[in-house]
Amino acid sequence: MSATPAYAELTRIYTRLYRFQHLGSIVGWDRNAMMPPKGNAARAAAEAELHALIHRTRTAPELKTLIAAAEAEPLDDIARANLREIRRDWRDANALPERLVEEKTLAGAKCEHAWRSQRAANDWEGFLENFRPVVKLAREEAQLLADDSGLSRYDALMDRFEPGVRASDVDRIFAEVRQWLPALIDDARKKQAQDSITLPRGPFPVVAQRALNREVMALLGFDFEAGRLDESAHPFSGGVPEDVRLTTRYSEDDFARSLLGTIHETGHARYEQNLPREWLGQPLGTARSYGLHESQSLSCEMQLARSRPFVGLLVPLLKKHFGDQPAFDADNLYRLWTRVKPGFIRVDADEVTYPAHVILRYEIERPLVEGEIEPEDIPALWAEKMQSLLGLDTRGNFKDGCLQDVHWSDGSFGYFPCYTLGAMYAAQWFAVIRRATPDFDARIAAGDLSPVFDWQREFVWSQGCRWTTPELVQRASGEALNPAHFRSHLERRYLRK
Amino acid sequence: MSATPAYAELTRIYTRLYRFQHLGSIVGWDRNAMMPPKGNAARAAAEAELHALIHRTRTAPELKTLIAAAEAEPLDDIARANLREIRRDWRDANALPERLVEEKTLAGAKCEHAWRSQRAANDWEGFLENFRPVVKLAREEAQLLADDSGLSRYDALMDRFEPGVRASDVDRIFAEVRQWLPALIDDARKKQAQDSITLPRGPFPVVAQRALNREVMALLGFDFEAGRLDESAHPFSGGVPEDVRLTTRYSEDDFARSLLGTIHETGHARYEQNLPREWLGQPLGTARSYGLHESQSLSCEMQLARSRPFVGLLVPLLKKHFGDQPAFDADNLYRLWTRVKPGFIRVDADEVTYPAHVILRYEIERPLVEGEIEPEDIPALWAEKMQSLLGLDTRGNFKDGCLQDVHWSDGSFGYFPCYTLGAMYAAQWFAVIRRATPDFDARIAAGDLSPVFDWQREFVWSQGCRWTTPELVQRASGEALNPAHFRSHLERRYLRK
């Protein structure tokens, strides 16, 4: 008999959960990428049955006893880290009463469903009606999670996405960015004002785009023996670490959106494909956080793909798949893909203005969750912050303003900071990698991406959930998250003559 | 509270099972049609976990009590039929002790795995070594099922595939066919001896074949809003009734194999897509039997697709997708697709010689299961029967003889008769349909397939498991299974001047 019977039993239960989740991931991918419309009702019923099973497994009363018993057992560091993650998962699943989970799901689904047409109709008042209960329930949720964890309410929500990162950290970092970002945007735009850009001319046949995307994924190290690229209306990265399923969407007018989107998803995929094999099946073997995941997608899309050396690598592939044209000049494409232009819409934003969109949302959702502001205060705050951060007037334009994102409609508060934390982690990784690789740009230009991926493998991918996010950042880069690296990256790319 | 609490609880349990099986079907389809190779280990573990869950659900001790209690409750005919099917399913799941199920699985997997190379090596002696335990366990299984059901041993095995059909029926029917089939084969070959046939000339591009197959599936009424056609190494019909997944395989030399295979699978698919919606989720709402399923695939492939009127419908589609060529003459294609030629291999056999392959296997596997012959007797029996049925000498050629099928290697005894029962049901259906539709051939030639499918919908598809197979045959056609219809069909198609 094992010296750690409770811990051993926990790992068996979590292995079973991992396998149930595998089934859920694959049928979920299928629903989005393959399923014909009339399959929907039966699929929804089957998925609900599976989710109920997973929920029952995660909330079985014996788990509480087992976790307490395991914590008293003699465990090595690895097992102890896994047990910490098991406790996190258990807390996530058990902190909220069934009643609240159901009310949240219903209110979120109702609000999100109506939002789809209300957004198009610019109907803020209509949205508000469904949104108030969502906020009320999110506050209740945050309070319960806070009581349970000892964190503040917003911290408790954010901890589900970015473990160990606190609003006080985000406040400090975003306040700092707010100091220099508007001026940096202005300077970049002034510097770019005289640039002449030739736009690529389509059509770009879907078959050629598909082949191009696959070739670029291979260049970025995606393992096609352990994953696929398919198509779906809303591109996503799904599947399981052993079999990663990416999707994209094609428009024959524009190859770049699908290509850059696929590069972004490939960053997520490489993290999943390279999680530590020996821990797979346990919480310890999963990706650390949403912010770190975003650091991987943005390492590929922003740090690599929109760099001048990498654009140089892409040009021959574009010519191979689409034939030559004047726009396929590396300097021209680089100018096009690093163009800075403040706009209303977050998902269309460039690398430099994107953080402004995130800071704005964070500065609204945090006081909203904490009860310092009310849902009806949002439009005025939005307008004021868009003006101060990006110099844009969005008054009355809810559609392209506070109604543009899906996140709030279903109550996913605490997620937005991950996008910009991810961009900052990525910049910090590349600062370390560049320091260790004096000929970095030359190696990328020569198609040798190993300085990037060898480092990610050692310090991020292989670590799974061994550390909290701040611990991982410290171990990987020798310092805490430091937005100065992000600033230097932007200055190097956007301001250097 | 319901007046039928036990029955109501059973339906809830079976709805849950149906949903678990939905997950299994979709991930099984994915494994065969989509999954990259490195996904295999994690998928196998996830599927095994699901199958263990399904097994636990089907063998939960409370089921026995619930079924007994439900049988004493006041139920209408529909509920009573569903309860009969629930009992069938329960018996299937519970008749065998765990130990035997495991031994069977292991012995079957070992024998089948080795068979893959032993077949190629013509290694009967090597096969025999793994096959003996498979037969021993099948006999044990048959005895337990027989004890449990009161059927004979072979009947008990066959009842899992074709409920209500007994070896005594099959004996009588196959003995009758044996009387006239060899002469019919000879006569057909004499009649065809002078036919001149022009062979189609490829290549037939995969893209064009795919488009052709989809168009023919639509012509046959396949609902693409409730199913898909994809590709896999071993074509199959999978998915769930609400979302049927067919696969095929393409060779650019030969479009007919994929086309006729797809038409065959479409017959299976239409059965599934048209099962009674109000019973879906319960055993009553599933397809009745393997033989009836085969009656649907063969209705499409043999009765329809290889008929002269239907070939006439296909010709313009062939020309549309492949361009014109001399072979695309309707009479020529019809001659090609109804060519009779005795051969060694069952899966390559034409419609007329196919039953001989099945009769031969039945005449061997029945005494084998009943203990009247031993595995080492098979080659001599095989050679003797191939000679008497098809006039072919297979002595020493195990590869193209008794080693050719996968069925025996994993112990699936009792399945073979379904193939020919299916062909006979299909002929019987078409006899009824023709009788009710005086202008049948003209309507098919004009592209109106409603006489066929309206009938199948009313008498087969919509009936689910309402009746046993013999009851369904009687209700649908006014008589028991009568091989005279199959004989008339063959005579009309192959002997008529």
Contacts of B226 in chain A (CB under 8 A): 36, 38-39
**Given CB atoms, is A179 within the 8 Å cutoff of chain B?**
no
Work out the minimum CA distance from B44 to partner chain A, whole angstroms: 10
Q: Is A323 exposed, middle or buried (0-12, 13-18, 19+ CB in 10 A)?
A: exposed
User: pLDDT tens-digit profile of B236-285?
Assistant: 899 999 999 999 999 999 999 999 999 999 999 999 999 999 999 999 99
- pLDDT given at position B98: 86
Strand B227-231 and strand B243-248: pairing? parallel
Work out the minimum CA distance from A97 to partner chain B, whole angstroms: 24
What letter does residue B304 receive in the DSSP assignment?
I
B270: helix, coil or strand? helix
State the CATH class of domain B162-497. Answer: mainly alpha
**Given CB atoms, is A20 within the 8 Å cutoff of chain B?**
yes
Q: Is the peptide bond before A417 cis (omega within 30 degrees of 0)?
A: no
- pLDDT given at position A1: 55
- pLDDT given at position B3: 81
- pLDDT given at position A2: 72
User: pLDDT tens-digit profile of A268-325?
Assistant: 999 999 999 999 999 999 999 999 999 999 999 999 999 999 999 999 999 999 999 9
**Given CB atoms, is B392 within the 8 Å cutoff of chain A?**
no
- Is residue A4 within 8 Å of A23, Cβ to Cβ? no
- pLDDT given at position B350: 95
Banded pLDDT at B410 (limits 50, 70, 90): confident
Banded pLDDT at B1 (limits 50, 70, 90): low
User: pLDDT tens-digit profile of A36-76?
Assistant: 999 999 999 999 999 999 999 999 999 999 999 999 999 99
What percent of chain A is modeled with pLDDT above 70? 100
User: pLDDT tens-digit profile of A322-358?
Assistant: 999 999 999 999 999 999 999 999 989 999 999 999 9
Work out the minimum CA distance from B244 to partner chain A, whole angstroms: 9
CATH topology for A163-497 is Neurolysin; domain 3 (1.10.1370)
Please determine, for residue B393, whether its predicted confidence score (pLDDT) is greater than 70: yes
Closest of A229, A205, A227 to residue A322, by C-alpha: A205
Work out the minimum CA distance from B408 to partner chain A, whole angstroms: 31
The tokens for A59 are 């909330």
- Is residue B330 within 8 Å of B307, Cβ to Cβ? no
- The CA distances from residue B442 to A44, B260, B333, B447, in Å, are 44, 22, 19, 9
Going through A175-329 in order, the beta strands assigned E by DSSP cover 227-231, 237-240, 243-248
* Residues of A tagged active-site: 265
User: pLDDT tens-digit profile of A445-490?
Assistant: 999 999 999 999 999 999 999 999 999 999 999 999 999 999 999 9
- Is residue B431 within 8 Å of B485, Cβ to Cβ? yes
- pLDDT given at position B396: 94
B225 and A27 in contact by Cβ < 8 A? no
Helix axis angle for A484-494 and A417-436, nearest 10°, is 80
CA distance A102 to A204: 46
User: pLDDT tens-digit profile of A384-431?
Assistant: 999 999 999 999 999 999 999 989 998 899 999 999 999 999 999 999
**Given CB atoms, is B112 within the 8 Å cutoff of chain A?**
no
Span B336-347, average pLDDT: 95
What percent of chain B is modeled with pLDDT above 70? 100
Calculate the average pLDDT of chain B: 95
Neighbouring residues of B190: CB distance < 8 A, sequence distance ≥ 6 = none
Nearest by CB to residue B225, choosing from A37, A45, A53, is A37
User: pLDDT tens-digit profile of B157-177?
Assistant: 999 999 999 999 999 999 999
- pLDDT given at position A98: 86
The tokens for B287 are 């397809």
Rounded to two decimals, the ipTM of the complex is 0.92
- Is residue A390 within 8 Å of A378, Cβ to Cβ? no
CA distance B310 to B430: 14
Q: Which of residues 217-246 of B touch A (CB under 8 A)?
A: 223-228, 240-243
A16 and B49 in contact by Cβ < 8 A? yes
B36 and A243 in contact by Cβ < 8 A? yes
Size of interface A-B (CB pairs under 8 A): 97
User: pLDDT tens-digit profile of B142-155?
Assistant: 999 999 889 999 99
A243 and B38 in contact by Cβ < 8 A? yes
Domain ranges of chain B: 1-94, 162-497
Work out the minimum CA distance from B132 to partner chain A, whole angstroms: 35
Contacts of B19 in chain A (CB under 8 A): 45-46, 48-50
User: pLDDT tens-digit profile of B88-113?
Assistant: 999 989 988 889 988 998 999 899 98
- Is residue A197 within 8 Å of A184, Cβ to Cβ? no
Closest of B179, B290, B220, B119 to residue B456, by C-alpha: B220
Neighbouring residues of B21: CB distance < 8 A, sequence distance ≥ 6 = B54, B240
Closest of B323, B287, B285, B235 to residue B422, by C-alpha: B287
Please determine, for residue B49, whether its predicted confidence score (pLDDT) is greater than 90: yes
Backbone angles phi, psi at B228, to 5 degrees: -145, 160
Nearest by CB to residue A45, choosing from B19, B35, B38, is B19
What letter does residue B199 receive in the DSSP assignment?
P
- pLDDT given at position A423: 97
B227 and A36 in contact by Cβ < 8 A? yes
Helix axis angle for A77-94 and A5-33, nearest 10°, is 60
Span B26-33, average pLDDT: 96
Q: Give the end-to-end CA distance of chain A in Å, rounded to a whole number.
A: 68
A42 and B224 in contact by Cβ < 8 A? no
A243 and B41 in contact by Cβ < 8 A? no
**Any idea which residue has 């052993």 for tokens?**
A242
Contacts of B241 in chain A (CB under 8 A): 42
The tokens for A450 are 């190993």
B36 and A224 in contact by Cβ < 8 A? yes
Please determine, for residue B373, whether its predicted confidence score (pLDDT) is greater than 80: yes
CA distance B90 to B14: 11
- Is residue B20 within 8 Å of B58, Cβ to Cβ? no
- pLDDT given at position A351: 96
* Closest chain A residue by Cα to residue B224: A36
Span A182-199, average pLDDT: 96
CA distance B323 to B314: 13
Within B238-289, where are the H helices?
A: 256-273
Please determine, for residue A84, whether its predicted confidence score (pLDDT) is greater than 80: yes
* Closest chain A residue by Cα to residue B16: A49
A478: helix, coil or strand? coil
B243 and A41 in contact by Cβ < 8 A? no
